[in-house]
Amino acid sequence: MKLDSKIPAGPLAEKWTKHKFNVKLVNPSNKRKHTVIVVGTGLAGASAAATMSELGYMVDAFTYSDSPRRAHSIAAQGGINAAKNYPNDGDSIYRLFYDTIKGGDFRSREANVYRLAEISNQIIDHCVAQGIPFAREYGGYLANRSFGGAQVSRTFYARGQTGQQLLIGAYGALSKEIKAGGVKMHTRTEVVDIVVIGGQARGIIARNLVTGELTRHVADAVVLATGGYSNVFFLSTNAMNCNASAAWRAYKKGAAFANPCYTQIHPTCIPVHGDYQSKLTLMSESLRNDGRIWVPKAKGDKRPANLIPEDERDYYLERKYPSFGNLVPRDLASRNAKMVCDEGRGVGPTGNAVYLDFADAIKRLGRDNIAAKYGNLFEMYNRITDEDPYTTPMMIFPAVHYTMGGLWVDYNLMTSLPGLYAIGEVNFSDHGANRLGASALMQGLADGYFVLPNTINDYLATAKLPKVGTDHPAMAEAETAAKEKIDKLLSIKGHRTVDDFHKELGHLLWEKCGMGRNAKGLKEALEKIPQIRAEFWKNVNVPGSADDLNQALEKANRVADFMEFAELLVRDALNRAESCGGHFREESQTEEGEALRDDENFTYVAAWEFQGLDKEPILHKDELVFEEVHLTQRSYK
Amino acid sequence: MSEKINITLKVWRQNRGEEGRFEVYQAQDIDTDASFLEMMDIVNEGLTLAGKEPIAFEHDCREGICGCCGALVNGKTHGSHEQTTLCQLHMRKFKNNEQIVVEPFRAHAFTVIKDLIVDRSGLDAIIREGGYVSVKTGSAPEASTTPIKKELAEAAMDAAECIGCGACVAACPNGAAMLFTAAKVSQYALLPQGHPERTQRVKNMVAKMDELGFGNCSNEYECAVACPKGIDVKNIARLNREFIKASLVK
Ligand SMILES: Cc1cc2nc3c(=O)[nH]c(=O)nc-3n(C[C@H](O)[C@H](O)[C@H](O)COP(=O)(O)OP(=O)(O)OC[C@H]3O[C@@H](n4cnc5c(N)ncnc54)[C@H](O)[C@@H]3O)c2cc1C
Ligand code: FES
């Protein structure tokens, strides 16, 4: 495998414009002769499917949900960034570009990130034209807020439901194209394999989740927009159905997987409260604007918060990072919470929580002001925990939230498998080793509305695409393999449930490859994962049948892939012996305990090539070249 | 403080194309901090290990925003706690040894697919008739060109909060999708972006609603009580006005 990132030559600010001109176009009357499969209808997939259909391509879109109005994207609360500079506070495309590169700890591609910043403004224009009710000022103009510690206000938002409103906008566009006949929508249909013919991605095998029927679909190109893999940890803030299967199966068919160890752990989530817990709930980052984070100074202090006097509290972020205080970036806030809990100073029934206290803010601004700002979040917290954050400090703890790693793509968003594209969270993306708040929505929509519909023309116009049918032997072979896997899962009839195995795997990852990672623990995990996997294939219990709606089977099929994928994640974490962004290697830290990057040895994207399950994958180093920015060590002291 | 309770669950079980029936299960030692769906998870783990098929129910975000979940709990959509989806309902709302009856959303236009899962694709079909602004990617003007009064933007957002769960349809004695449709029609009636298509939009969406077997609105307003997002019945009045205006246009 030879990786070519295909970054266009020329000055940074002109690359995208020039590239669009150099892309070969498909004659308008030929467009409808091309079929493109889009797997996933979250923000990235829905926007891409709708836009390609508007251009004249025939699109087959797939989602496992009952409707494309539902996808994990819907849960995004905070907002979407753009370099509009409406508040006149010094923002620009260049600043958004720089912040994203720096925030990603200098582990992303300059050209891609610049393009993202450039397109950000068009996204807002388009979404406003779609009738998305963004927040507005009294004068009727669009409102912005500062988010995730950014020094400018560049985040557009629709109350606490930005993801919902953007997704409904993209779903509207998709509905319009379904009605117009350009998109054929396959709901309640899960893609279970990618079919490669003559070295090109030419189709998929899908399972109808209601009848269990396996179906074959051919196309000239396949686009994966299937989201991130946070759920490999079992507990995360992702929706329950999020999984890594489509990406993982693409990897096994020849697409390189990049930087799987880059996972983002969000500092402000509601702590785990019992072993029956099914997922974690994010509390918006905006709470850190007014809440103060603390734990008791003494280990094992079990007194209720209000009985711990001021001088026996440790406001550890304010103490360690006096200039940023409670607003340090996500990775720092998370890691420090873990540190104080590991020291035995954590609070709550499990000891795995820290306080987020609004008492001072209420004293300073008044209860009404705080209610106006955070009322809905306080209510959500109360609903889940039955506690009142107005009178008792909230308890929070970090949780897995987003995955920066994903399928390797070039500047055109094509994976290393010709004809297979990856957009949105499923690609290894523009966020480097750490994503800034409000930039995943921006990236998903940039990819889907503006980048892919341009770059895919080039492939469709120039690639040799011999006619293939669903009766092609490669199609039959892939279908048989999918069927055998399903039959195998159903035949084991063991003594443990799918969730039981998923929890075991997730717990191991969280312990050994979570907020802090070291060689010893990672090696232990590398040994343990194949054992769990072997036990899974011997002892899992999947009830029901293959030709019926069977949620346990759906889950088993996904967890089986997590069992394999987890190994690659850990292997990548072991290879990257530096700390960067969300990846903290305990061996690589400064004297003060801060993350220490190793630019000399690790300024590359780690792209892994599959060699078979029992063989080590090959590591390809896709070097990152910085022409525009200087690499600096992040400091928030 | 949380405690452990025991619950008797009477759950509707149904396979595709077959008659349904109630079955009774015991949920033991349920933590009152658990959510309703986590209680269902626990029951399902037990059923699986006992060699039975788990109860099929839809869910995804478990945060009250995706609109996947929903069932009748003791005859009420989502259990009928003010502005709560089923996934946000917690076991502390129930008493020890209580019996809970769980059934799928019932409406003429929603058929049962399995157990608690129903087919709500009719709602998508209504949206396809015009529940959007027909703007192609690339043709939008600069976003700040048209100022929009804050109150209008807020009112549009109130309507746009709909999560498409279908509780309004299930709560309506006529199985109408009026609140659902009205919310979308309102969002675009309030915003200038929606105006060029407003006549066709309301006509086509209402026609589709009728065609698919959703009932008529007889102003019972059960829908608004059931709505987990608090969508206001004022939107129905707005739909009616839009519809009358549209009927006057040739
Ligand atoms: C709680 C929360 C809050 C967030 N808040 C923000 C925020 O404020 N701002 C921000 O920028 N980002 C935020 N993010 C991140 C952001 O929401 C996601 O990264 C982004 O929405 C991902 O979009 P996507 O289109 O790539 O994937 P998704 O929305 O995950 O969509 C994946 C799609 O793929 C489909 N799919 C997957 N596998 C298959 C298969 N095998 N067969 C068929 N279909 C399949 C699914 O059905 C779905 O339609 C948040 C994330 C979380 C968890
Ligand atoms: S599971 Fe998403 S709203 Fe309940």
Is residue A134 less than 8 Å (CB to CB) from chain B? yes
> Residue A394 half-sphere exposure, CB side, CA atoms within 13 Å?
30
Q: What is the pLDDT of residue A636?
A: 75
Q: What is the pLDDT of residue A260?
A: 98
Is B115 inside any structural domain?
Answer: no
Q: What is the pLDDT of residue B17?
A: 85
| Contact between residue A195 and residue A113 where contact means Cβ atoms under 8 Å apart | no
Between the CA of A43 and the centroid of ligand 1 the distance, in Å, is: 7
How many domains does chain B contain in total?
2
Q: Is the dihedral of CA A611, A615, A621, A622 positive or negative?
A: positive
Closest Cα in chain B, distance from residue A594 (Å)? 34
Is B112 inside any structural domain?
Answer: no
Q: What is the CATH code of the structural domain delimited by A266-400?
A: 3.90.700.10
Q: What is the pLDDT of residue A373?
A: 83
Rounded CA separation A207/A480 (Å)? 12
Pair of tokens at residue B247? 């009927």
Given an 8 Å threshold on Cβ–Cβ distance, is A551 in contact with B127?
Answer: no
Task: Name the domain boundary from B103, B131, B147.
Answer: B103
Rounded CA separation A308/A296 (Å)? 7
Is the confidence at residue A637, as pLDDT, over 80?
Answer: no
Q: Domain A480-603: which topology? A: Methane Monooxygenase Hydroxylase; Chain G, domain 1 (1.20.58)
Is residue A547 less than 8 Å (CB to CB) from chain B? no
Same domain? For B204 and B129 the reply is yes
What residues of chain A lie within 8 A of the CB of B49, using their CB?
Answer: 495, 497, 541
Better pLDDT: A331 or A470:
A470
Closest Cα in chain A, distance from residue B205 (Å)? 13
Q: What is the pLDDT of residue A286?
A: 84
Closest Cα in chain B, distance from residue A635 (Å)? 35
pLDDT band at A147 (very low <50, low <70, confident <90, very high): confident
Q: What is the pLDDT of residue A47?
A: 98
Q: What is the pLDDT of residue A149?
A: 73
Q: In sequence order, what are the beta bridge partners of A203? A: A195, A218
What residues contact residue B98 under an 8 Å CB cut-off, 6+ apart? B5, B7, B8
What residues of chain B lie within 8 A of the CB of A178, using their CB?
Answer: 128
| Contact between residue A220 and residue A96 where contact means Cβ atoms under 8 Å apart | no
Is the confidence at residue A91, as pLDDT, over 80?
Answer: yes
Pair of tokens at residue A140? 């009727």
Same domain? For B125 and B243 the reply is yes
Other C-beta atoms lying within 10 Å of the C-beta of residue A74: 28
Tens digits of residue pLDDT in A354-377: 999 999 999 999 999 999 888 888
Q: Show the beta-strand stretches assigned E in A408-448.
A: 420-422
Rounded CA separation A159/A143 (Å)? 11
What residues of chain B lie within 8 A of the CB of A241, using their CB?
Answer: 60
Rounded CA separation A461/B26 (Å)? 61
Tens digits of residue pLDDT in A469-522: 999 999 999 999 999 999 999 999 999 999 999 999 999 999 999 999 999 999
Instruction: Name the closest ligand to CA B87.
Output: 2
Given an 8 Å threshold on Cβ–Cβ distance, is A140 in contact with B35?
Answer: no
Q: State the DSSP H helix or E strand holding residue B11, giving kind and residue range, or none if neither.
A: strand B4-13
Of all protein residues, the one whose alpha carbon is nearest to atom 3 of ligand 2 is B64
Q: What is the mean pLDDT of residues A204-225?
A: 98
- Identity (one letter) of the amino acid at B231? I
Q: State the DSSP H helix or E strand holding residue A555, giving kind and residue range, or none if neither.
A: helix A551-575
Using alpha carbons, select from A233, A41, A150 the residue that is nearest to residue A439: A150
Tens digits of residue pLDDT in B69-107: 999 999 999 997 788 999 999 999 999 999 999 999 999
| Contact between residue B159 and residue B183 where contact means Cβ atoms under 8 Å apart | yes
Better pLDDT: B17 or A456:
A456
Estimate to the nearest angstrom the gap between the alpha carbon of A306 and the chain centroid: 38
Q: Running DSSP on this structure, what letter comes out for residue A271?
A: P
Q: Please, is A276 exposed, middle or buried when counting C-beta atoms within 10 Å of its C-beta (0-12, 13-18, 19+)?
A: middle
Pair of tokens at residue B83? 């502005």
Q: In sequence order, what are the beta bridge partners of A109? A: none
Q: Running DSSP on this structure, what letter comes out for residue A231?
A: G
Between the CA of A227 and the centroid of ligand 1 the distance, in Å, is: 5
Rounded CA separation A582/A578 (Å)? 11
Q: What is the pLDDT of residue A594?
A: 86
Q: What domain range includes position B60? A: 4-103
pLDDT band at A11 (very low <50, low <70, confident <90, very high): very high
Same domain? For B161 and B233 the reply is yes
What residues contact residue B169 under an 8 Å CB cut-off, 6+ apart? B105, B107, B109, B110, B120, B123, B175, B176, B177, B180, B214, B223
Q: What is the pLDDT of residue A319?
A: 96
Is the confidence at residue A330, as pLDDT, over 90?
Answer: no
Is residue A187 less than 8 Å (CB to CB) from chain B? yes
Same domain? For B239 and B136 the reply is yes
Same domain? For B241 and B125 the reply is yes
Which residue of A120, A162, A175 is the best one to mutate when testing the B interface, meaning the one whose CB has the most B CBs within 10 A? A175
Helix axes B198-211 and B121-128, enclosed angle (nearest 10) = 150
Same domain? For B173 and B216 the reply is yes
Same domain? For B209 and B95 the reply is no
Q: What is the pLDDT of residue A477?
A: 98
pTM: 0.98
Q: Where are the domains of chain A?
A: 266-400, 480-603
Q: What is the mean pLDDT of residues B18-43?
A: 97
| Contact between residue B230 and residue B85 where contact means Cβ atoms under 8 Å apart | no
Same domain? For B125 and B225 the reply is yes
Pair of tokens at residue A248? 């993982």
Using alpha carbons, select from A160, A147, A231, A243 the residue that is nearest to residue A439: A147
Given an 8 Å threshold on Cβ–Cβ distance, is B49 in contact with A69?
Answer: no
> Which percentage of chain B shows pLDDT scores above 70?
100
Nearest CA in chain B to A174: B128
Tens digits of residue pLDDT in A337-346: 999 999 999 9
Same domain? For B37 and B137 the reply is no
Using alpha carbons, select from A133, A373, A311, A334 the residue that is nearest to residue A342: A334
Given an 8 Å threshold on Cβ–Cβ distance, is A129 in contact with B160?
Answer: no
Pair of tokens at residue A631? 């690499």
Angle at A334 between CA A503 and CA A577, to 5 degrees: 80
Is the confidence at residue B110, as pLDDT, over 80?
Answer: yes
Is the confidence at residue B1, as pLDDT, over 80?
Answer: no
Instruction: Name the closest ligand to CA A65.
Output: 1
Of all protein residues, the one whose alpha carbon is nearest to atom 39 of ligand 1 is A226
Closest Cα in chain A, distance from residue B202 (Å)? 15
Q: How many residues does chain B have?
A: 250
Nearest CA in chain A to B124: A67
Q: Please, is A260 exposed, middle or buried when counting C-beta atoms within 10 Å of its C-beta (0-12, 13-18, 19+)?
A: buried
| CB-closest option in B113, B135, B142 to A210 | B113
Tens digits of residue pLDDT in A62-76: 999 999 999 999 999
Q: What is the pLDDT of residue B82?
A: 82
Pair of tokens at residue B141? 């003007």
Rounded CA separation B220/B176 (Å)? 10
Q: What is the pLDDT of residue A527?
A: 98
Angle at A555 between CA A516 and CA A62, to 5 degrees: 105
What residues contact residue A21 under an 8 Å CB cut-off, 6+ apart? none
Q: How far is CA B4 from CA A82, A415, B44, B228, in A?
A: 48, 51, 18, 27
pLDDT band at B156 (very low <50, low <70, confident <90, very high): very high
| CB-closest option in A65, A187, A273 to B33 | A273
Ligand 2 atom nearest residue B163's Cα: 3
Q: Is the dihedral of CA A413, A415, A421, A426 positive or negative?
A: negative
pLDDT band at A189 (very low <50, low <70, confident <90, very high): very high
Other C-beta atoms lying within 10 Å of the C-beta of residue B9: 19
Max alpha carbon distance in chain A (Å)? 76
Instruction: Name the closest ligand to CA B68.
Output: 2
Is the confidence at residue A148, as pLDDT, over 80?
Answer: no
Q: What is the dihedral of CA B103, B109, B113, B116, to 10 degrees?
A: -20
Indicate left, alpha or beta for B87 from its phi (over 0: left) and psi (-120 to 50: alpha).
Answer: alpha
> Helical H runs in A10-157?
15-22, 28-31, 43-55, 93-103, 110-129
Q: In sequence order, what are the beta bridge partners of A436? A: none
Using alpha carbons, select from A489, A210, A231, A499 the residue that is nearest to residue B41: A499
Using alpha carbons, select from A305, A281, A302 the residue that is nearest to residue A292: A305
| Contact between residue A564 and residue A245 where contact means Cβ atoms under 8 Å apart | no
Rounded CA separation B159/A168 (Å)? 12
Between the CA of B242 and the centroid of ligand 1 the distance, in Å, is: 35
pLDDT band at B2 (very low <50, low <70, confident <90, very high): confident
Pair of tokens at residue B218? 């007889």
CATH number at residue B235: 1.10.1060.10
Task: Report, as residue numbers or ranges, the catalytic residues of A.
Answer: 330
- Identity (one letter) of the amino acid at A257? F
Helix axes A15-22 and A110-129, enclosed angle (nearest 10) = 80
| Contact between residue A123 and residue A445 where contact means Cβ atoms under 8 Å apart | yes
Same domain? For B138 and B170 the reply is yes
Task: Name the domain boundary from B70, B103, B136.
Answer: B103
Same fold, A266-400 and A480-603: no
pLDDT band at A273 (very low <50, low <70, confident <90, very high): confident
- Identity (one letter) of the amino acid at A83? A
Listed as own residue / partner, the contacts of A23-29 with beta carbons closer than 8 Å and 24 or more positions apart are A23/A454, A23/A455, A23/A457, A23/A458, A24/A457, A24/A458, A24/A461, A24/A462, A25/A457, A25/A461, A26/A457, A26/A460, A26/A461, A28/A56
Using alpha carbons, select from A195, A203, A245 the residue that is nearest to residue A60: A203
ipTM above 0.85, yes or no: yes
Q: How far is CA B70 from CA A17, A210, A314, B105, B119, in A?
A: 48, 18, 44, 7, 12
Q: Is the dihedral of CA A320, A326, A331, A337 positive or negative?
A: positive
Q: What is the mean pLDDT of residues A298-307?
A: 94
Tens digits of residue pLDDT in B176-231: 999 999 999 999 999 999 999 999 999 999 999 999 999 999 999 999 999 999 99
Which of B35, B38, B61, B73, when mutated, tests ligand 2's pocket best, judged by the most ligand atoms within 8 Å of its CB? B61
Helix axes A452-462 and A43-55, enclosed angle (nearest 10) = 50
Given an 8 Å threshold on Cβ–Cβ distance, is B124 in contact with A69?
Answer: yes
| Contact between residue A511 and residue A352 where contact means Cβ atoms under 8 Å apart | no
In short, whether B85's Cβ falls inside 6 Å of ligand 2 is yes
